[in-house]
Every structure is written in structure tokens, then in C-alpha cells.
């Protein structure tokens, strides 16, 4: 039994090392703008962890913010992969319950929105992502 536990720990350690190396190599595939964005998101996650540890935010606030960051990261990296450019789009990620703050009748409008749809004069719908709750990714329209 003891040998099995050691073997399991060894396998987990190797997997974590490979994962860390993969994350580092993925990050090095990007230009300076995207690298700076990813660094910013890592700093935000570190700050969230600090706030949770020091009971400045609740577990629910921590989870929502962590999920929002994950959605933001995924949307930007998808954009970068599709465009092949070192550009970070001006995305805003909102939970479904926050949608009315940016878009009139936001919750209702976003439920039927399709990628590229203009939402008023300021926003364009990019995508939605469900991570614990529904998040919407909106791009600021420059006029």
C-alpha cells in the first residue's frame, strides 16, 4: 500500500511539472501585449486569493471573480488565436445578473444575441460562457 501511495504522488508531481512547463511555453508563444494581459490576470488572481485568505471577500465573491477572469482569459486567447495578432480586445465580462448595468434590458437582450450583434451604441456581443453562472463577453465599440 505504501508503495502505491508513493507512486501516486510521483505521477501527480510529474503531471504538475508538465502542466507548469506547458503553461510557460504557451505564454511564451504570445507577443508583449498578450503576455502583459496574462500577467495582469495572474496578478488579479493573486489579489483575489489574498482577499479571500484575509476574509475581505466571501467564497461566493471569490468564485464569481475567478470565473470572470477565466472567461475573460479564454475569450481574449480565442480572439488572438483566430486573428494571429498581438492585440488584446477591449472586452468586458459581465454576469447575467449584471447585464442591465451595461445594456438596456441586458438580460433579455443577451439571451438571444448572436456573436457580432450590436447592443446599443457602445457594445458588441462576443460570446457567452457558463462557469458556475452565465457570463457574457461584450466588446466596447469605438465610435
**pLDDT tens column, 59-76:** 999 999 999 999 999 999
The answer to whether 107 touches 59, Cβ cutoff 8 Å, is no
Place of cell 486567447: 77
pLDDT digits (tens, 9 = 90+) for 73-130: 999 999 999 999 999 999 999 999 999 998 989 899 999 999 999 998 899 999 999 9
Q: Which residue has the cell 449584471?
A: 98
Does position 8 have pLDDT exceeding 80, yes or no? no
Q: Cα 77 to the chain's mean position, in Å?
A: 9
Residues 6+ apart with CB under 8 A from 140: 90, 91, 92, 122, 123
Give the Cα separation of 59 and 55 in Å (integer).
9
Q: Give the whole-angstrom CA distance, residue 135 versus residue 2.
A: 45
Q: Which residue has the higher pLDDT, 135 or 106?
A: 135
DSSP summary character for residue 116: T
Q: How many CB atoms lie within 10 A of CB 99?
A: 22
pLDDT of residue 18: 52
Q: Given this model, what pLDDT does residue 121 score?
A: 87
105: left (phi over 0), alpha (psi -120 to 50) or beta: left
- Among 1-10, 30-39, 126-135, the minimum mean pLDDT is found in 1-10
User: Strand, helix or coil at 2?
Assistant: helix
How is the chain split into domains, by residue range?
1-30, 31-140
The pLDDT mean for the chain works out to: 87
User: Which of the pair, 45 or 16, is modelled with greater confidence?
Assistant: 45
pTM of this structure: 0.78
Amino acid at each position: 500500500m505504501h508503495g502505491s501511495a508513493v507512486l501516486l504522488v510521483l505521477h501527480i508531481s510529474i503531471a504538475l511539472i508538465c502542466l507548469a512547463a506547458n503553461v510557460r511555453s504557451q505564454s511564451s508563444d504570445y507577443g508583449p501585449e498578450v503576455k502583459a494581459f496574462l500577467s495582469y490576470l495572474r496578478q488579479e488572481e493573486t489579489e483575489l486569493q489574498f482577499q479571500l485568505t484575509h476574509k475581505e471577500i466571501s467564497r461566493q465573491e471569490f468564485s464569481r471573480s475567478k470565473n470572470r477572469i477565466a472567461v475573460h482569459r479564454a475569450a481574449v486567447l480565442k480572439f488572438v488565436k483566430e486573428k494571429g495578432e498581438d492585440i488584446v480586445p477591449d472586452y468586458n465580462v459581465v454576469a447575467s445578473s449584471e447585464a442591465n448595468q451595461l445594456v438596456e434590458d441586458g438580460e433579455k437582450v443577451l439571451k438571444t444575441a448572436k456573436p457580432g450583434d450590436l447592443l446599443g451604441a457602445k457594445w458588441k456581443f462576443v460570446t457567452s460562457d457558463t462557469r458556475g453562472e452565465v457570463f457574457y463577453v461584450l466588446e466596447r465599440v469605438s465610435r
